[in-house]
Structure 1
Amino acid sequence: MKKLLGVTLGILTAIGGFVDIGDLVTNALVGARFGMHLAWIVIVGVIGIIVYAEMSGRVVAMSGRPVFDLIRERLGPRTGLLALVASFLVTLLTLIAEIGGVALAFELASGVSYLLWMPLAAFAVWLVIWRVKFSRLEQVFGLLGLLLIVFAIALFKLGPDWGQLLHQATRLHPIGHEGWATYAYYGIALFGAAMTPYEVFFFSSGGVEEKWTRRDLGTERTNVFIGFPLGGLLSLSIMGCAAVLFLPAGIQVGTLGQVALPVVVAFGKIGLAVVLLGMFAATFGAALETALSCGYTIAQYRGWQWGKLVRPREASRFHVVIIVCLVLAVLTLLTAVDPVKVTEYSVVFAAMALPLTYLPILIVANDPDYVGRETNGRVRNAFGLFYLALLTIASVAAIPLMIITKAGA
Structure 2
Amino acid sequence: MKNKKSFSSKLFSSWKRLGPGLVTGASDDDPSGIATYSQAGAAFGLSTLWTAIIAFPLMASIQQMCARIGLVTSHGLTGTLKQHYPRPILYLTLLFSFPAIVMNIGADIAGMGAVGNLLFPSIDANYFSVVFTIILLILIVYLPYQKIASVLKYLCIVMLVYFIVPFLYKQDFGEIIKATFIPTIKFDKDFIAILVGILGTTISPYLFFWQVSVEVEEMRHKRRHLIVDKKLIHDMDQDVDFGMTVSGFVMYFIILTTGTVLFKGGIHQIDTVEQAALALKPLAGNLSYLLFAIGVIGTGLIAIPVLSGAISYIITETFGWKEGLDKKFHEAKAFYIIIAISLVLGLSLNYVGITPIQSLIYTAILYGLTAPVLIAIILHISNNKKIMGENVNGRITNILGFTALIIMTVTAVALIYMQFSNQ
- Do the structures match in fold with TM over 0.5? yes
For residue 52 of structure 1, report the CA deviation from its aligned partner.
Answer: 0.8
Mapping 1:202-241, distance limit 5 Å = 202-211=210-219, 213=226, 214=228, 216-241=232-257
For residue 279 of structure 1, report the CA deviation from its aligned partner.
Answer: 2.0
2: CA distance, partners of 1:49 / 1:217: 17
1: CA distance, partners of 2:415 / 2:157: 31
Corresponding position of 2:307: 290
Establish whether residue 145 from structure 1 lines up as the match of residue 162 from structure 2. no
Bigger shift: 270-279 or 124-133?
270-279
Letter in 2 for 1:79: I
Establish whether residue 116 from structure 1 lines up as the match of residue 127 from structure 2. yes
1: CA distance, partners of 2:143 / 2:337: 17
**Among candidates 158, 168, 180, match of residue 157 of structure 1:** 168
2: CA distance, partners of 1:402 / 1:288: 33
> 2:94–2:314: 8 Å Cα contact kept in structure 1?
yes
2: CA distance, partners of 1:207 / 1:117: 33
2: CA distance, partners of 1:383 / 1:23: 22
Bigger shift: 8-17 or 97-106?
8-17
Establish whether residue 133 from structure 1 lines up as the match of residue 150 from structure 2. no
**Among candidates 109, 129, 136, match of residue 99 of structure 1:** 109
Corresponding position of 2:5: none
2: CA distance, partners of 1:304 / 1:3: 35
Bigger shift: 75-84 or 372-381?
372-381
SS in 2 for 1:236: helix
Letter in 2 for 1:118: S
For residue 334 of structure 1, report the CA deviation from its aligned partner.
Answer: 3.0
- Give per-residue Cα distances to partners, 1:133-170, cap 9 Å, x unaligned: 12112222223212201111222233433223223345
Establish whether residue 13 from structure 1 lines up as the match of residue 24 from structure 2. yes
TM-score under structure 1 length normalisation = 0.91
Establish whether residue 356 from structure 1 lines up as the match of residue 373 from structure 2. yes
Letter in 2 for 1:224: V
2: CA distance, partners of 1:4 / 1:368: 35
For residue 203 of structure 1, report the CA deviation from its aligned partner.
Answer: 1.6
Mapping 1:308-323, distance limit 5 Å = 308-323=325-340
> 4+ residue stretches of structure 1 with deviation over 6 A?
none
Change (3 A) 1:385 1:172: closer
For residue 269 of structure 1, report the CA deviation from its aligned partner.
Answer: 4.2
> 1:22–1:97: 8 Å Cα contact kept in structure 2?
yes
2: CA distance, partners of 1:139 / 1:316: 24
Letter in 1 for 2:130: P
**Among candidates 377, 381, 390, match of residue 407 of structure 2:** 390
**Among candidates 53, 63, 66, match of residue 56 of structure 1:** 66
TM-score under structure 2 length normalisation = 0.88
For residue 29 of structure 1, report the CA deviation from its aligned partner.
Answer: 1.6
1: CA distance, partners of 2:249 / 2:157: 11
Corresponding position of 2:356: 339
Establish whether residue 47 from structure 1 lines up as the match of residue 57 from structure 2. yes
2: CA distance, partners of 1:90 / 1:125: 20
Change (3 A) 1:378 1:165: closer
Letter in 1 for 2:33: D
SS in 2 for 1:308: coil
Establish whether residue 256 from structure 1 lines up as the match of residue 273 from structure 2. yes
How well do the aligned residues superpose, as a CA RMSD in angstroms?
2.2
Bigger shift: 219-228 or 7-16?
7-16
Letter in 1 for 2:254: I
**Among candidates 44, 59, 75, match of residue 65 of structure 1:** 75
For residue 171 of structure 1, report the CA deviation from its aligned partner.
Answer: 5.0
Change (3 A) 1:319 1:116: same
Corresponding position of 1:246: 262
Corresponding position of 2:42: 32
For residue 96 of structure 1, report the CA deviation from its aligned partner.
Answer: 0.7
For residue 22 of structure 1, report the CA deviation from its aligned partner.
Answer: 2.4
For residue 3 of structure 1, report the CA deviation from its aligned partner.
Answer: 5.1
For residue 399 of structure 1, report the CA deviation from its aligned partner.
Answer: 2.8
Change (3 A) 1:274 1:162: same
For residue 376 of structure 1, report the CA deviation from its aligned partner.
Answer: 0.8
2: CA distance, partners of 1:60 / 1:170: 34
Establish whether residue 172 from structure 1 lines up as the match of residue 209 from structure 2. no
SS in 1 for 2:390: coil
SS in 2 for 1:210: helix
Change (3 A) 1:344 1:377: same
For structure 2, list consecutive stretches of 5 or more residues without a partner in the other structure. 1-11, 221-225
- Give per-residue Cα distances to partners, 1:52-84, cap 9 Å, x unaligned: 100111121222222221122222211111011
SS in 2 for 1:372: helix
Change (3 A) 1:138 1:268: same
Change (3 A) 1:404 1:263: farther
1: CA distance, partners of 2:203 / 2:216: 21
Corresponding position of 1:326: 343
Change (3 A) 1:262 1:355: closer
1: CA distance, partners of 2:19 / 2:290: 23
For structure 1, list consecutive stretches of 5 or more residues without a partner in the other structure. none
2: CA distance, partners of 1:41 / 1:304: 40
Corresponding position of 1:185: 193
For residue 86 of structure 1, report the CA deviation from its aligned partner.
Answer: 0.6
